[in-house]
Each structure stands twice: as C-alpha cells, then as structure tokens.
C-alpha cells in the first residue's frame, strides 16, 4: 500500500515536467540560462540539467497536448512581455485543477495508489461524501460476489449462452448507470467461469432493468444475477422453500411486467424466470439484498441440483 497525496504528484511529477518544458521553450527564444533560472526560481545548475536533457520530467505529462499548449503560451508571453508572473502562475494553477479532475494528475495518482482506481477524483476534488462511500461499498460487494461465483465450480453448467451478470444497485438507483455489474458478462469457458473485467457502474442493461423493477416493489432487494432456466433449478428452489414466479420473456415493457409480477403476492419472489421466446434464451433471476446475498442463494440452490439434471 502506498499512501500518497495528490499534491505530491503535483510537486514531484507535474512541476519538474512543466519547468523542464518551459526552460526549453525559453531557451529556444533566446533566454540565457541565468534569466531562465531567475524566471523559474531555480539555480542555473538546475536549468542546465533541464536543457541538457538530463532531467526531462514525467512523459505522462510531457506528452500532454494541453500542457504543451499552455507552456508554449506562457513562454511566448514571457518573450514579448504580454504575460507577467502572476498571469503565468494563474494559467498553471488552472491547468493543475483541470488535471486533478479526472485528468493526468488523477491518472498518475491512481497508478501510485491502486485503492483509488476509479474513485480518485471523487475523493481528491470533491472530498469524501456518503454517495462515494456507498458506491465503493456496492463495487466491493459485487467484486466479492463475482469472486465467489467464479470460484464455485457448480455454477458453470448454469451460465446461459448470453452470459451471467452479477449486479447490485445503489439505494436510490434511477438508471443502469446506478447499477454496478461486470462489463461483458461472465461466460463459461473451458469448464470455468470467465470474468472479463472488474465490476463498474453502467455495465449491465437487462439485469439492471430487472433489479430496478423489483426495487420498485421492495427497495431492499438491490442485488441479482441471471442463470439459465432449467426445470432442475426451479425444482431446487421449490424444494428449498424459495418463492418463484414467472414472467413473459418479451423485451417490450418488460420492466412494467416484472414489477407487476413481483408485487402480485405476499413478498417479492427471490426467483423470477421466463421460458424464453423466439431469439430469447430462457433466463432465471435470483435476487438478494446485496449481490453477495443473491450469489449465496443461487449457489445454495445449484449445489442441490443433481448433475445429471442440469440440462
């Protein structure tokens, strides 16, 4: 684990790079090493290292077109006296703020601190808040649920051809972007469950829509996964006392139909399924209060299904 502040990235990576680029631009415009040193607040020896290429800065910043344009503009302004120190500082500070908000500084910070991956700017620019913490908790739960699912061998035979997705919605989800799931879905491959990427928000459409339809009836049921519909799976649910219900497979107005089925009884069924239609594979959805809860329920059911009856 590396604990590093974004200001360290600015001081140790961005600033030396900007100084090296500005020193080179000023030298090209005829500034002496001493005048460059005076302008940048450096020693002449430091400027010499920049100009000799001994210190060039971080290529992750040096190759950035916006930084190149800003440095060029500042150097041109110093050369024709159209920019003073205050204005140059203002331009660099504005660039730093831009780079910290999902820009190069944020990207470098996330490389240095993997724990910030996908969340760095929300913490550094907007500060810690309840929503960000909730998003992180949902992502962590889906990651754990996916790991459990992928490491349980019995699930492989029940992954549909379209793939399985494990998902969980934020408490007040309003759309697919508020539901975390696996991009590309989980597919059976060489006898294993292949997970193509880490969960992220907005990665699911069908499972996300199904979760939100169920949440309209019971807001606590925020997690779900989809499996291949089989008689054996449905029989296992019945034997375990898990309530099931069926709905029409057609996509048109599906959310409304799922919501109607989910609310037609005492409590929302933890298993909803359809028998398929032309071009639509039969799919069963298993629900839980979290993604992990849904996966736990699904595994319990699948482990009770005899191997000879999974087809």
Could you give the CA distance from residue 180 to residue 288 in angstroms, rounded to a whole number? Answer: 14
Say whether pLDDT at 106 is over 70. Answer: yes
Statement to judge: residues 61 and 134 lie in one domain: no
Q: Tokens standing for 300?
A: 């319990």
Share of the chain above pLDDT 70, in %: 93
* Contact between residue 301 and residue 238 where contact means Cβ atoms under 8 Å apart: no
Statement to judge: residues 278 and 208 lie in one domain: yes
Statement to judge: residues 138 and 285 lie in one domain: yes
Statement to judge: residues 236 and 275 lie in one domain: yes
In this predicted structure, what is the pLDDT of residue 124? 65
In a domain, 1, yes or no: no
In a domain, 269, yes or no: yes
In a domain, 71, yes or no: yes
- Number of structural domains (the chain) is 2
Task: Look at residues 124, 153, 185 and tell me which one is the last residue of a structural domain.
Answer: 124
Could you give the CA distance from residue 228 to residue 285 in angstroms, rounded to a whole number? Answer: 9
Statement to judge: residues 89 and 211 lie in one domain: no
Statement to judge: residues 40 and 78 lie in one domain: yes
The tens digit of pLDDT for each residue in 36-86 reads 999 999 999 999 999 998 878 888 898 999 999 999 999 999 999 999 998
In a domain, 34, yes or no: yes
**With bands split at pLDDT 50, 70 and 90, how would you rate the model's confidence at 242?**
very high
In a domain, 10, yes or no: yes
Q: Which domain holds residue 51?
A: 6-124
Statement to judge: residues 154 and 45 lie in one domain: no
**With bands split at pLDDT 50, 70 and 90, how would you rate the model's confidence at 194?**
very high
In this predicted structure, what is the pLDDT of residue 132? 73
Statement to judge: residues 36 and 175 lie in one domain: no
Statement to judge: residues 257 and 297 lie in one domain: yes
Statement to judge: residues 239 and 255 lie in one domain: yes
pTM, entire model: 0.62
* Contact between residue 15 and residue 46 where contact means Cβ atoms under 8 Å apart: no
CA distances from 20 to 40, 61, 75, 161 (A): 10, 11, 12, 55
In this predicted structure, what is the pLDDT of residue 265? 80
Statement to judge: residues 186 and 290 lie in one domain: yes
Could you give the CA distance from residue 74 to residue 25 in angstroms, rounded to a whole number? Answer: 9
Task: Look at residues 124, 142, 172 and tell me which one is the last residue of a structural domain.
Answer: 124
């Amino acid at each position: 684990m590396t604990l590093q502040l974004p200001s360290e990235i600015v001081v140790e990576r961005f600033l030396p790079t900007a100084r090296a680029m500005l020193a080179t631009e000023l030298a090209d415009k005829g500034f002496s090493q001493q005048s460059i040193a005076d302008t940048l607040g450096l020693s002449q020896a430091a400027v010499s290292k920049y100009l000799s290429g001994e210190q060039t800065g971080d290529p992750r910043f040096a190759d950035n077109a916006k930084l190149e344009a800003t440095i060029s503009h500042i150097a041109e302004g110093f050369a024709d006296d159209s920019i003073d120190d205050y204005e140059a500082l203002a331009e660099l500070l504005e660039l730093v703020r831009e780079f910290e908000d999902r820009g190069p500084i944020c990207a470098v910070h996330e490389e240095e601190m993997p724990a910030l991956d996908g969340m760095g700017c929300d913490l550094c620019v907007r500060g810690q808040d309840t929503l960000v913490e909730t998003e992180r908790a949902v992502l962590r739960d889906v990651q754990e649920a996916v790991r459990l699912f992928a490491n349980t061998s019995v699930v492989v035979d029940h992954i549909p051809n379209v793939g399985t997705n494990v998902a969980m919605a934020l408490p007040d989800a309003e759309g697919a972007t508020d539901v975390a799931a696996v991009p590309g879905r989980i597919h059976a491959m060489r006898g294993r469950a292949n997970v193509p990427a880490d969960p992220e928000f907005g990665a699911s459409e069908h499972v996300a829509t199904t979760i939100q339809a169920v949440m309209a009836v019971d807001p606590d049921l925020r997690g779900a996964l989809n499996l291949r519909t089989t008689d054996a799976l449905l029989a296992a649910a019945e034997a375990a006392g898990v309530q099931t219900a069926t709905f029409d497979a057609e996509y048109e107005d599906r959310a409304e139909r799922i919501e109607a089925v989910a609310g037609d009884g005492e409590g929302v069924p933890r298993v909803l399924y359809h028998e398929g239609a032309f071009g639509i594979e039969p799919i069963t959805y298993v629900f839980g209060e979290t993604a992990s809860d849904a996966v736990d329920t699904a595994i319990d059911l699948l482990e009770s299904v005899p191997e000879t009856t999974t087809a």
